[in-house]
Structure 1
Amino acid sequence: MNAPSPVKLTLVAAGVILCWSYSPIGVHLGLHSYRPGQLALLRFLIASVFMGGIALVAGIGRPHLRDAPWLCVLGFFGVFLHHTCLNYGQQWVTAAASSVLAQSAPLFSVLIAFFCLKERVGAWRWGCVLLGLIGVLVVIRGDHGVADIDPHGLLILLAAFSWSVYFAIQKHYAHRYSPLTMACYMVWTGTLMLGVNLPGLPAAVARAPLADNMAVLVLGIFPSALAYLGWGYVLKHVEVSRATAAMYLIPPVAMGLAATLLGEHIGLQVMLGAVIVLVSVAAISLEGRWRRGVRCTAG
């Protein structure tokens, strides 16, 4: 199979970034009419139906019975816990600040590697974690102030933690299934878990204004379905380290969308905190490439 052109890969990556940048804006709009749990369920019901249609056309593999528990774990961390915490937390912070805090997942990956996987973590990565936490505090202070922020807003950090757990587990199963297969089963199992929020949802849909329902529809199709599929396509043809570097564009794009669509004022401290968080995350990913370069030079 011929490799896709760089232009095509760039366009797909740009589409993924735009979709995921819209996510906090769509959540902000959806929370006008839905409770956080209801919004998560409705979003992924839409995504499940949409991805089911794609699966019928493209075809997906059946999971092995021994992998079923782990696919449920992926659905729990990647969909249920992540998006429940994200929605509850975003009631207390702006969409711009949420987009920054949600990108702190690599910082938690270092903590998981050290405490759970018993990996050796050097001074460089500990320094990155410390720098990232400083950036988080700067974002919080610039958004509402440390004294004024509701503790519920910190649930977004729990959402970032659950996302890092999801990626850690996914790495062990990515070689067994195609990106489409993994995404479908993750979304479907997570949606089943979100079913606990079903009571009252039909009535909420009937009461919600058309504009809010359209915002949730876009949220379900683009960030929750097409973005996952597009990201799987990019990862199939591009090194993970190069592809993930593009994710650093999500907070600034999300800030621009929040300012344009929601009229949010982005304070200088929030922007400074965003830069600190993204620099710390980038430094973690660059460490491995730097060490490989040193080994190649020494060799």
Structure 2
Amino acid sequence: MQSSFIHTISERKWAQWLLILLITLIWGYSWVLMKDALRYMGPYTFSALRFGTGAATMLTIVWLLRVGRPPKSAISHLIVVGILQTSVVFLLVMYALKFIDAGKSSLLLYSMPLWSGLLAAFFLREKISALRWGGVGLGVAGLLVVMGADALSRQSAEVLWGEFLIVLAAVSWGASNIYYRLKLGELSKLQVNAYQMLFGTIGITLVAWFAEGGETVVWTAESVYYVLFTGVLASALCFTVWFMLLSVVDMIGATMPSLLVPVFGLFFGWLLLGEVLTASVLIGSTLILSGVWLSSVRR
């Protein structure tokens, strides 16, 4: 099944770009659902439900594709990646969404390639070219524009704290990428994603139990839709298709999600939640996305 799908899309360039556009569109739209889900349940509870559903779906896909179980020697490394990439990132993100807009949150989180590149230079001894240093500089300047403008406009301390937590989540995501390359580079990406999501979900569930165990979850058709869409479609199915696409798309295609997801996040936040696109957000997003693109370019 997996090989036939890869063979089919490898011969159809239009199908590759259509799938990339669809995946990034879904990921961008998911930020609106993550924000609005806070009307029905606590941030940690939503994350536990979302990734619990996503992990169950991913493990089912791994079983159907006969990918197999990871070796015992990889379990401890998968736990570390799960904590860094799923537990830490989305505990911080969902808490921060209580205070800041969905679109701005997506923009700040997808500064991840900047931190990933810097960490790769330190831990993997990757050489950073002048072009990539310029990209890092642009990205950091964009972050300063967004966060600095909020500080100067006397935004509440909660907003500034939320923005800092999102950036910290981006650093954690970047660190998980480095750890993956150091310890799990030989494993199937589908296998890694399924099991790191499982272990990450366990971490989130423990936090949700202790922090929100007594809080009521409001179950409606809308809240169920939010959990299923972000868990099954955005977290499991989109990642499965994306990992298959990685074997056939070129470098430009591989960097597109980092560029398009926050763009769609900002657009859907403005369209569906009425979030205001200030001049600082537009200027900062241009700088950050330009920096991400330059940092991702390979000669």
- Say whether the fold is shared (TM-score over 0.5): yes
Counterpart of 1:236 in 2: which secondary structure?
coil
2:248 to 218, 222, 237: 237
| Deviation at residue 187 of structure 1 after TM alignment | 1.1
| Deviation at residue 119 of structure 1 after TM alignment | 4.3
Say if 1:125 and 1:284, in contact at 8 Å, map to a contact too.
yes
**How big is each residue's C-alpha offset from its partner over 1:55-79, in whole Å with a ceiling of 9 and x where there is no partner?**
3322222211111111111111111
**How big is each residue's C-alpha offset from its partner over 1:198-256, in whole Å with a ceiling of 9 and x where there is no partner?**
35559633x34432332222111122111211210110112345321343111221122
Residue matched to 1:79: 86
Say if 1:142 and 1:268, in contact at 8 Å, map to a contact too.
no
RMSD, aligned α-carbons: 2.3
Is 1:46 the counterpart of 2:56? The answer is: no
Residue matched to 1:204: 216
Q: Give the aligned residue type for 2:296.
A: S
1:188 to 198, 201, 204: 198
Q: After TM superposition, list the pairs within 5 Å mapping 1:91-240 onto structure 2.
A: 91-141=98-148, 145=152, 147-148=154-155, 149-172=159-182, 175-196=185-206, 197-198=208-209, 200=212, 204-205=216-217, 207-240=218-251
Unaligned runs of 5+ in 1: 290-299
Size of the alignment, in residue pairs? 287
Percent of residue pairs bearing the same amino acid type:
28
Tell me which moved more, 162-171 or 223-232: 162-171
Moved segments of 4+, more than 4 Å: 141-146, 172-175, 199-203
Say if 1:180 and 1:229, in contact at 8 Å, map to a contact too.
yes
Distance in 2 (alpha carbons) for counterparts of 1:210 and 1:145: 41
Q: TM-score, normalised by structure 2?
A: 0.86
Tell me which moved more, 191-200 or 220-229: 191-200
Counterpart of 1:204 in 2: which secondary structure?
coil
1:34 to 8, 31, 41: 41
| Deviation at residue 143 of structure 1 after TM alignment | 5.8
| Deviation at residue 155 of structure 1 after TM alignment | 0.5
Q: Give the aligned residue type for 1:231.
A: W
| Deviation at residue 34 of structure 1 after TM alignment | 2.1
| Deviation at residue 161 of structure 1 after TM alignment | 0.7
Counterpart of 1:63 in 2: which secondary structure?
coil
| Deviation at residue 35 of structure 1 after TM alignment | 2.0
Unaligned runs of 5+ in 2: none
